[in-house]
C-alpha cells in the first residue's frame, strides 16, 4: 500500500485520471445543527482543483457551503476518491450561461435568474484508493477466501 504525503506527478496523473470522466459526486456539508449531510450532485465543470455545480441560492447545499469546508466523494467500482475543500457561491451570469444546458433549464429555469448560482469547490486535499479493475478485486477476494492471505489493497494516496 502506498501512502505518501507528497504526491508525485505519477500520483497526480492517477488522481486526475480517476476523477476526469466522473459526472456525479456525493457532496457533504455540515448542517446548521452541526450534522454531516450528503447529497448527490452533478459536476457542471472541473478545472484542475476547482469543481463547479449549479444550484439555487436558497438550497441547503448552497447555504451550507459558502465559505465552509465541504467534502466531495466519488466511488466507481473498486476506486474511491475523497476530496475536501472550501465552497464558494459565484453569481456571474456569463459563467452561468456558459455552464447552462437543457437539464439545468428543466430544473432551474433561466440562467439569468439571480436565484440560480454556481457553487464552486476549491479542493485542498484529496485521498484516493484504487483497487484496480473490479475483476482483479473480485479475484483478490476469492484468493484471500481460499488461501487466508489478505488481498492486495491496491494504491492509496493522500
Give the pLDDT confidence score for residue 157 in this predicted structure: 54
Which residue's entry shows cell 454556481?
A: 118
* Assigned superfamily of 9-126: Electron Transport, Fmn-binding Protein; Chain A (2.30.110.10)
Give the pLDDT confidence score for residue 135 in this predicted structure: 45
126 DSSP 8-state letter: E
pLDDT tens for each residue of the chain, 158 residues long: 344 456 678 878 888 888 888 999 999 999 999 999 999 999 999 998 999 999 999 999 999 999 999 999 999 877 899 999 999 999 999 999 999 998 888 888 899 999 999 999 999 999 988 776 554 444 454 555 666 666 555 566 55
User: What is the C-alpha to C-alpha distance for residues 29 and 48, in angstroms, rounded to an integer?
Assistant: 21
Give the pLDDT confidence score for residue 136 in this predicted structure: 47
Burial per residue of 78-109, b for 16 or more beta-carbon CB atoms within 10 angstroms, e otherwise: bbbbbbbbebeeeeeeebbeebbeeebeeebe
Give the pLDDT confidence score for residue 46 in this predicted structure: 95
Amino acid at each position: 500500500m502506498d501512502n505518501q504525503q507528497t504526491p508525485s506527478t505519477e500520483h497526480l496523473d492517477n488522481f486526475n485520471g480517476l476523477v476526469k470522466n466522473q459526472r456525479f459526486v456525493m457532496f457533504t456539508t455540515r448542517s446548521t445543527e452541526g450534522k454531516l449531510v450528503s447529497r448527490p450532485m452533478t459536476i457542471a465543470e472541473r478545472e484542475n482543483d476547482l469543481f463547479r455545480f449549479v444550484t439555487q441560492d436558497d438550497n441547503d447545499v448552497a447555504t451550507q457551503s459558502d465559505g465552509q469546508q465541504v467534502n466531495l466523494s466519488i466511488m466507481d467500482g473498486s476506486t474511491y476518491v475523497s476530496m475536501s475543500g472550501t465552497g464558494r457561491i459565484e453569481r456571474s451570469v456569463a459563467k452561468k450561461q456558459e455552464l447552462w444546458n437543457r437539464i439545468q433549464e428543466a430544473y432551474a429555469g433561466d440562467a439569468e435568474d439571480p436565484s440560480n448560482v454556481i457553487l464552486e469547490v476549491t479542493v485542498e486535499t484529496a485521498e484516493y484508493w484504487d483497487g484496480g479493475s473490479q475483476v482483479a478485486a473480485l479475484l483478490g477476494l476469492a484468493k484471500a477466501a481460499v488461501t487466508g492471505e489478505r488481498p492486495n489493497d491496491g494504491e492509496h494516496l493522500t
